[in-house]
Structure 1
Amino acid sequence: MSQAPLEAAVADYLAHLRDERRLADLTRRHYRRDLDGLMASLTARGLTDWRQVTATMVRDWIAREHRRGLAPRSLQRTLAAVRGLYRYLQREGRADFDPAADLRAPKQRRRLPETLDVDQAAQLLDAPTNPGADDPLAIRDQALFELVYGAGLRLAEVASLEATDLAGDPRELRITGKGARTRIVPVGRQARRAVAQWLVVRPQLARASESALFVSRRGQRLSHRAIQARLDQRGRARGLDQHVHPHMLRHAFATHLLESSGDLRAVQELLGHADISTTQIYTHLDFQHLAEVYDRAHPRARRR
């Protein structure tokens, strides 16, 4: 049974995202769900072709989703999915205009990311002289967390590393991040040392055919969930009174660099942000830190 025209166009677009744009599976699943919702709304109106869609139809659908409780951030992603679809359809000659081009999602209040201060990062990462010398999992975890904090890696980026990526004490690491964008990040001394210790004991766990840098006790590539769980366990064991997750270490990396250097452009490059406005949230974190110092130290700010 052949697909309906609306569905067929979306299937072709998602294949384009997979094969040409190399978008992550999770992103494609989100776009699929968003476009399924719009297709259901259009089908209920009796539409059968993307050329029939108007800006009013898309606006009504976005407003209905907002009333249903969809967050502004999700609505922004939804509109991005629709615009991406229409860019593809216009390129293929299957649509004449983009009805979502001038639509805007409700504004979202920007939340500051959770992070760790320098002392908390040290409390989490500082290890004994020979950390877990008889425990390859402890050595693995130390290398894993030092690398995330030392290079500002995303969870997916560190999980996808290959053992060959860090062979031979590399000072730099090539990372392919979101949108298949590639960046070069430095690997600091402590991270290099921790990874070198892990590579010595990695054969005790890794299967002969496994290429991943970080592996589980079963010898397979370490999953995202396992990395999250091990980091949270480490945070609780080290006495931190908050849930610690991998992105928190990435935020700490960015915040501590910006506090020390003030170089927002360099931090953008190291994080792999396509738009510097994404990086600018760390200037708010930096100001928050300065405001706290002011409140503690300035004679006109201190409470009597």
Structure 2
Amino acid sequence: MKKEISFFLFHCEVEKKLSQKTLKAYETDLRQFDEFLKKDDISTITKEDLKSYLGMLTKHASRTMKRKVATLKTFFSFLEFEESIENNPFHKVRIKIKLDKLLPKILSISEINSILKHAYFEKESIQLLDSYQYKEAIRNIAVLELLLATGIRVSELCSLKKENIGDNFETIRILGKGNKERNIPITNKATKEALKNNYKSFKTIIDASSFFFINRFGNPLSTQSVRLLVKKYALKASIRRNITPHVFRHSFATLLLEEDVDIRYIQHFLGHSSINVTQMYAHVNEKKKTALLTIKNPRNFVNF
């Protein structure tokens, strides 16, 4: 089976041009499947083998299980199309995985204020203005400001280039999933200033590499570094929940929705291909629901 897996991954990388993140997930899922079955001849895999593997997958969260099954379906459909197998065992297996409805975690305005306050305080407390520590603090502020002001994905932030930033730092052009581009205005003065300061601090390296966020080695900032950065300031702000860059994204969307921004605009800002994905924020908008009913409830207009 290892040969067929390599063949499939080559097809996904070269012909379908899938991202490295997707390729890594495919490889992980397929290697796990191979280790479980331990079969040399892929054509001998039966629906009973699939059912046995699916039984093992139930220990995972429903979303993880759904992804792993989707990987296998794509893999076997590819092998069937390439005529590497005569019969696709998935044609004889019915699978229905019910996803848990997980409401996205968000930050309150006070929590966001606290995180930013600690990031700015850290910068002001550094006396050596020509030290890397000071430049790093400036970069960290720019990262946090951009996460909050745009709802950008962490992978999109790390791949952001200087050429994607408009004149006077008033817009950014984001290359999202499926190589879809979207432009987002930068309207907040503090966010613009943070981006300008980051560019001034790392100008030579940014101009040479073109990447806008740089680490101490002159390389593009990694997604893991951003996650650790966010966690660091969340802890400084005494927030004990697990705060990730994606929580900033959820907060951005939810706070816009609470301010009556049309969900179609939010869909564009987030780069969602389907409005159905964006709709999940309607379920977390409890604050808005309460406010609306407090003011608009028909019972308020009944005298008795």
For structure 1, list consecutive stretches of 5 or more residues without a partner in the other structure: 1-5
**2:55 paired with 1:30:** no
Correspondence list, 1:146-295, <5 A: 146-166=145-165, 168-190=167-189, 191-203=191-203, 206=205, 209-286=208-285, 288-290=286-288
TM-score normalised by the chain length of structure 1 = 0.79
Q: Which one-letter code corresponds to 1:48 in the other structure?
A: D
Aligned-residue offset at 1:42: 4.7
Instruction: Report % sequence identity.
Output: 24
Q: Deviations over 1:145-191 (max 9, x none)?
A: 11111111111111111233226324332222234343333333332
Tell me the residue number matched to 1:48: 41
Q: How many equivalent residue pairs?
A: 287
Shifted more, 244-253 versus 27-36: the winner is: 27-36
Whichever residue aligns with residue 70 of structure 2, its letter is A
After superposition, the CA RMSD in angstroms is 3.3
Give 3-state SS (helix, strand or coil) of 2:31's partner.
Answer: helix
For 2:188 and 2:171, locate their aligned partners in 1 and report how far apart those are by CA, in whole Å.
11
Give runs of aligned pairs for residues 67-216 of structure 1, distance below 5 A: 69-95=59-85, 98-100=88-90, 103-125=94-116, 132=124, 134=129, 135-166=134-165, 168-190=167-189, 191-203=191-203, 206=205, 209-216=208-215
Q: Give CA-to-partner distance per residue, 1:71-108, whole Å, 9 cap, x none.
A: 22221111111121133234434345644366335323
Unaligned runs of 5+ in 2: 300-304
Matched, 1:18 2:13: yes
The answer as to 2:26 corresponding to 1:59 is: no
Q: Give the Cα–Cα distance (whole angstroms) in 2 for the partners of residues 86 and 275 of structure 1.
A: 27
Change in Cα spacing, 1:105 to 1:174, as seen in structure 2 (3 Å) is farther
Conserved in 2, the CA contact under 8 Å of 1:79 and 1:100? no
User: TM-score normalised to the size of structure 2?
Assistant: 0.79
Match of 2:201, as an amino acid? V
User: Does the C-alpha gap of structure 1 residues 21 and 208 become closer, same or farther in structure 2, counting only changes over 3 Å?
Assistant: same
Inter-partner Cα distance in structure 2 for 1:275 and 1:294 = 27
Q: Mark the CA change 1:13 to 1:180 in structure 2 (over 3 Å): closer, same or farther.
A: farther
Higher helix share: 2
Contact 1:159–1:224 under 8 Å retained in 2: yes
1:289 and 1:218, CA in 2 relative to 1: closer, same or farther beyond 3 A? same
Whole-Å separation in 1 of the counterparts to 2:293 and 2:188: 36
- 1:92/1:146 Cα in 2 relative to 1: closer, same or farther (>3 Å)? same
- Counterpart AA for 1:140: R
Note the alpha carbon deviations across 1:253-295, whole angstroms, 9 max, x for none. 1111122235223222221223333222211111x33466589
Within 2, Cα distance between the matches of 1:10 and 1:261?
A: 48
Distance 2:86 2:268 in 1: 37
**How far does residue 115 in structure 1 lie from its aligned partner after superposition?**
0.9
Question: Offset of 1:9 from its aligned partner?
Answer: 2.2
Distance 1:274 1:100 in 2: 28
Equivalent residues of 2:120, 2:141 under 8 A apart: no
Counterparts in 2 of 1:296 and 1:116: CA distance versus 1, 3 Å: farther
**Bigger mean CA offset, 7-16 vs 241-250:** 241-250
